[in-house]
Structure formats: C-alpha cells, structure tokens
Structure 1
Amino acid sequence: MDVFDIHGRVIADYRAFTSAFVEVRDERIKQFVQGQFERGVQWPKPWLSLNPNFESGGSVSELVEAGVLHPENERIFRFKADPESLVGNGMVLHRHQADAIRAAQSGKSYVLTTGTGSGKSLAYIVPIVDAVLRETAENGGKRLPGVKAIIVYPMNALANSQLGELRKFLKHGYPAGGEPVTFARYTGQESPDERARILAEP
C-alpha cells in the first residue's frame, strides 16, 4: 500500500467532486476559483506524525517475581477477554508506570506528567491495589474495612470511564463478594440508598 498514492487519488477525486457540480460563468471568478484549486487551498498537505513507543518498565509478572508487587497483582492486571475468567494476556508496564509504583511504595509524593493514552491511571491504581493486597496479607488474609484511597476526577465522565476499567481488573474473574480489592463511585449520580450503603460499608 502506497499511502502517498492513495492520498493523491483521494485529493483528485475530491477535486473532481467539488469542481463538477458548479459552473462559473464569470471569467474573473472562474480564474480565481481555478487558482484556489491549483494552490490546493481546499486541502492541506499530508501530515506525518511519529508516535514513539514508551520505554518498557517490565511486565507485571516480572515485578511480582522481583518482589516489587504482591503476587495477586499478576491475576488482577491482565487483559481479560472473558468477565468470568482470570485468564488473559499479561500486562507490560511503561517505564514511567513502574517508576511511579516504586515512588509510591517509598511513601513519597510524586507527580506524573505524560501524554494522553500513556497509562497515567495505572500509575496510581496499581500502587493503591498493591498496598491493599499487602495490608490484607499482613492481616492474615483478612481484608481490613475502611477507605484506603480516594481518587478525585474533575468530571463525572472521567469517573465513569475509570469505573469501567476498575471493573475489568478488580471484578472480572472473581466471584461476587470475593474480590481482593473493592471500590465504589461516590458522586451525585448514585441513589440515596447506594450512597448510604457506601458510607455504611466503606
């Protein structure tokens, strides 16, 4: 496939389409319009953009083997095609995500600035989940009640989007009530009963 050839054909077809349905009688206007066509005013030149890959920070499995993450993270953070199964391709983290995990575990505050679609959410979700898993393990496998983290989003749309992602990781493959880490959305979208339940069972 020659993308430049395709681009040329698309432009030619578009030019034929836009110039065929109007016949300009005034010669001056006709020359002006023809000049616009020749200069390509109606369509920009091709835009080429490189999309470099982010540096790898290792897979979740590798971080588990290195003792950086709790073993249950390997089952949680994978691409699960089936909501009823824990089976799926393992997740490979970017370098900035792995660095954020280590920074969080050190107890230090950190700020992560990187592009859209680079996995910023996992840079704080993974450390939160890992901390809950470790706390449960230290308590003999019994999960301690209470709110462990609060994530604030500027818009409900973002909160709803992240809610879907959390369900994929923390609910898919686990029986109802058997999830290793629980979560809830608390915004103006919940019913009074749902908000009361969240407050009663943090």
Structure 2
Amino acid sequence: MQAFDLDSSLVETYSSFSRSFSKIRAPDLKAAIDAQYADGHFWPDALLSINPHFEHGKTTTQLVADGLIAPETALVFRMNGHGRRRHLQSDGDVGE
C-alpha cells in the first residue's frame, strides 16, 4: 500500500538524518541504540483510520453567497479555481 511505502521512506530518511549528527564509537552503546532504532522506538507506526460518514455540504462559494463566511475565506479554500465543498458529520460539525 502506498501510504505505508511513504511512511517507510520518511522514517528511513529521518533516521539517516537524525543519526548523522554523531558517530557512536562504543560497540555496546552503538548496538543498543541500533536496536532501539530497529524496534521503532523513535517514531510511532503509521496510522490509517476510517473517516466517519460525511454528508455533502455547500461549497465555500455558496457559503459566501449565503453570507455565512467572509469572501476572503472562500479565496483561501479553493481547488482548481473552485470553492471547496464542505462536508457535515452526522453530529452537524463541519469537516473538509
């Protein structure tokens, strides 16, 4: 799955970066620290979750027309020149 490939790539890149600051010469310390890195103690596992059901809401352009948000807000939340559609959770909270 691509999400896990991306996670692995990021972890490997960050691991290389974070380990580049010092060279551990003591074999026992190096082995212990290498084991900690290998066990993933320095970052959590990738997290994927299922989104709750959302109902389609109005676009930001429609919300401006209804007077519910400032026109400047609709300029920020745009994609391909169009207002982004807002989505409502079953509890009525607005999500994206």
**Same structural fold, with TM-score higher than 0.5 when normalized by the shorter chain:** yes
The one-letter code sitting in structure 1 at the alignment partner of 2:63 is F
What percentage of aligned pairs have identical amino acids? 28
2:63 is aligned to 79
CA 1:80/1:27 → structure 2, altered by over 3 Å: closer, same or farther? same
Q: Which runs of 5+ in 2 are unaligned?
A: 72-82
The one-letter code sitting in structure 1 at the alignment partner of 2:93 is S
For residues 44 and 92 of structure 1, the distance between their equivalents in structure 2, rounded to whole angstroms, comes to 31
CA 1:92/1:39 → structure 2, altered by over 3 Å: closer, same or farther? closer
Q: Which runs of 5+ in 1 are unaligned?
A: 61-77, 84-88, 97-113, 120-202
1:43 is aligned to 43
The one-letter code sitting in structure 2 at the alignment partner of 1:118 is D
1:31 and 2:6 correspond:
no
For residues 13 and 46 of structure 1, the distance between their equivalents in structure 2, rounded to whole angstroms, comes to 15
For residues 89 and 30 of structure 2, the distance between their equivalents in structure 1, rounded to whole angstroms, comes to 58
For residues 89 and 21 of structure 2, the distance between their equivalents in structure 1, rounded to whole angstroms, comes to 55
Comparing both structures, which one devotes a greater share of its residues to strand?
Answer: 2
Bigger radius of gyration among the two: 1
Q: Deviations over 1:77-126 (max 9, x none)?
A: x422685xxxxx8x998585xxxxxxxxxxxxxxxxx4xx714xxxxxxx
Q: TM-score scaled by structure 2?
A: 0.57
For residues 89 and 17 of structure 2, the distance between their equivalents in structure 1, rounded to whole angstroms, comes to 49
For residues 87 and 18 of structure 2, the distance between their equivalents in structure 1, rounded to whole angstroms, comes to 48
Q: Deviations over 1:129-168 (max 9, x none)?
A: xxxxxxxxxxxxxxxxxxxxxxxxxxxxxxxxxxxxxxxx
